[in-house]
Amino acid sequence: MLARSRLLNLLPQLCALQPSLAMSSVTGTVTIHQPLNYRAGARVQPADGGQAEDVYEPATGRVITKLLSSGEKEVDLAVQSAKAAFKIWSQMSGMERSRVLLEAARIIREQREEIATLETINNGKSIFEARVDIDISWQCLEYYAGLAGSLAGEHIQLPGGSFGYTRREPLGVCAGIGAWNYPFQVACWKAAPALACGNAMVFKPSPFTPLTVVRLAEIFTEAGVPKGLFNVVQGGAATGQFLCHHPDVAKISFTGSVPTGIKIMGMAAKGIKPVTLELGGKSPLIIFSDCALENAVNGALMANFLTQGEVCCNGTRVFVERKILDVFTKEVVKRTQKIKIGDPLLEDTRMGALINRPHLDRVQGFIKQAKEQGAEVLCGGDLYVPDDPKLKNGYYMQPCVLGNCTDDMTCVKEEIFGPVMSILPFDTEEEVVERANNTKFGLAGGVFTRDIQKAHRVVAALKAGMCFINNYNISPVELPFGGYKASGFGRENGRAAMEYYSQLKTVCVEMGDVESVF
Ligand code: NAD
């Protein structure tokens, strides 16, 4: 790959070479095509677009393109187009749908590098991680392609030869609303089971990361879905509200923060629509003294520093049994200081830039407050300015480990959504389970120990939807994922997600005569 500086210098020439991309810009090795709304199999300007918003590259802080948000009319057109496509798609057999989804997975694999590069440019995560996201995405499509043909009901025998049967039917047009930390992957986690079950989807990504989901829409069209089956509307809260309130939207699947989740649930309640909420977390990671120390240290790093710490299920409250507190902490700090920060497009970078300046400031605010409340910064926490002058306006910070933490500190109670780990000592199993559960959230939890009974006992006691034993933050598509308590409900991934994108119809069949009581 060409160095970033070289590519940025080439930008004007490349644009001049491709006049057909008048509304597009070339960045890195990829082209950002416009427009960014997608309806009925094509990119479209929104019918009633609002003001153009800047879209940033977190690594450099520069504006890479403009976003026109979708108003009520555009949202309605997208839903109507999805409704028309639903009529065709829902009548196809599971096996027919499966073939199309497999083809979409194949195209994603083929375009992996381009999609990952676009994701890195728009999100700021390292290219190394973006590639993993894209791999998880096509695997998700393959998995649900495999399940599409198995969607089935039951046959139930009744007296006198009569019987009943159940049909698992799609819901209709589903709304998908995504967060900015895993833009392409979140869209695939929603679209794959939704489409496998025979639904259509209108997806709204975060206005910070509007780019890659439009590629997904194009790939679905190329793979052969009926035009309109997967449409993209763009914008922020207002666009999301139009979508949630739309009477022809049958279900809402939301990934984002708890405050927005509460609003989404309110809107769903008004329309009596089923809703899946994948919300925030403040998950515990429990390290017992009998763990394999190197694995536990690796687990703690994985639990805190992927995607600059902007991961919902991160294990940010790291409870360490006092006996190994010093040795564990020393090792974690040493390893954290070695994390290579910088240009996310470089192969050896392991931590890129945070999503935007306000979010970086917010994360910095949490660290300042932690210090005021008595926590000790064991490493990192400061802004990071890469040597490359092109990156000087990027949103970088050094990953931070906080010691001397107590359960009542804000950094331990609130979701920071940045690279900040809090270390908390504990003495007994009973104590740590109680403290781990003492949170409004319940997304994930983890335990490191060599004692197999203790491991299962502890995860059984954790009030969290996704638990890890002797690992953390891996997300195989085969396993259901979702939260307890304020972290939401409903599940993505695994067979379980099929339940959330389908509904059960019962058919009662009489084989005899009707015996009327009248
Ligand atoms: P956010 O709640 O600010 O926004 C999420 C999405 O909702 C965006 O697309 C946004 O435009 C839209 N939105 C905002 N207000 C809306 C409204 N009133 N009506 C309809 N839509 C609205 O969250 P974010 O900052 O984009 O993402 C970070 C949060 O997401 C964190 O809390 C993180 O934990 C959570 N998250 C959860 C999961 C999960 O699977 N549990 C995964 C990723 C992120």
Across the chain, mean pLDDT equals: 94
Q: Give the pLDDT of residue 29.
A: 64
Lowest-confidence region among 28-37, 318-327, 485-494: 28-37
CA 263 to ligand 1: nearest atom? 18
Q: Give the pLDDT of residue 31.
A: 85
Domains in the chain, CATH or no CATH each: 37-279 (3.40.605.10), 284-477 (3.40.309.10)
pLDDT exceeds cutoff 80 at 209: yes
pLDDT exceeds cutoff 70 at 21: no
Q: What is the pLDDT of residues 258-272, one digit of tens each?
A: 999 999 999 999 999
pLDDT exceeds cutoff 50 at 207: yes
Ligand 1, atom 23, residue with closest C-alpha:
256
Taking the centre of ligand 1 as the mean of its atom positions, its distance from the CA of residue 238, in whole angstroms, is 13
Catalytic residue set = 278
CA 189 to ligand 1: nearest atom? 40
Taking the centre of ligand 1 as the mean of its atom positions, its distance from the CA of residue 97, in whole angstroms, is 29
Q: What is the pLDDT of residues 99-122, one digit of tens each?
A: 999 999 999 999 999 999 999 999
Ligand 1, atom 35, residue with closest C-alpha:
256
DSSP state of 515: -
- What pLDDT band is residue 27 in, cutting at 50, 70 and 90? low
Contact 191, 255 (CB under 8 A): no
- What pLDDT band is residue 16 in, cutting at 50, 70 and 90? very low
Ligand 1, atom 16, residue with closest C-alpha:
237
Closest CA to 127 of 116, 115, 138: 116
Contact 32, 41 (CB under 8 A): no
Taking the centre of ligand 1 as the mean of its atom positions, its distance from the CA of residue 430, in whole angstroms, is 34
| Mean pLDDT, rounded, for 204-219 | 98
Taking the centre of ligand 1 as the mean of its atom positions, its distance from the CA of residue 190, in whole angstroms, is 14
Taking the centre of ligand 1 as the mean of its atom positions, its distance from the CA of residue 75, in whole angstroms, is 19
Task: Please give the Cα distance from 494 to 428 (Å, whole number).
Answer: 34
pLDDT exceeds cutoff 70 at 24: no
Contact 115, 108 (CB under 8 A): yes
Pocket perturbation via mutation, ligand 1, pick of 202, 260, 275 by most ligand atoms within 8 A of CB: 260
H/E segment holding residue 498:
helix 496-500
Q: What is the pLDDT of residues 454-483, one digit of tens each?
A: 999 999 999 999 999 999 999 899 999 999
Q: Give the pLDDT of residue 240.
A: 98
CA 179 to ligand 1: nearest atom? 26
Lowest-confidence region among 8-12, 164-168, 203-207, 386-390: 8-12
| Mean pLDDT, rounded, for 423-448 | 98
pLDDT exceeds cutoff 80 at 349: yes
Q: How far is CA 303 from the centre of its chain?
A: 15
User: What residues does ligand 1 touch, defined as CB less than 6 Å away?
Assistant: 177-181, 204, 206-207, 236-237, 240-241, 244, 255-257, 260, 263-264, 278-281, 312, 415, 417, 443, 483
Task: Please give the Cα distance from 253 to 502 (Å, whole number).
Answer: 13
- What pLDDT band is residue 28 in, cutting at 50, 70 and 90? low
Q: What is the pLDDT of residues 135-179, one digit of tens each?
A: 999 999 999 999 999 999 999 999 999 999 999 999 999 999 999
Q: What is the pLDDT of residues 43-96, one digit of tens each?
A: 999 999 777 999 999 999 999 999 999 999 999 999 999 999 999 999 999 999
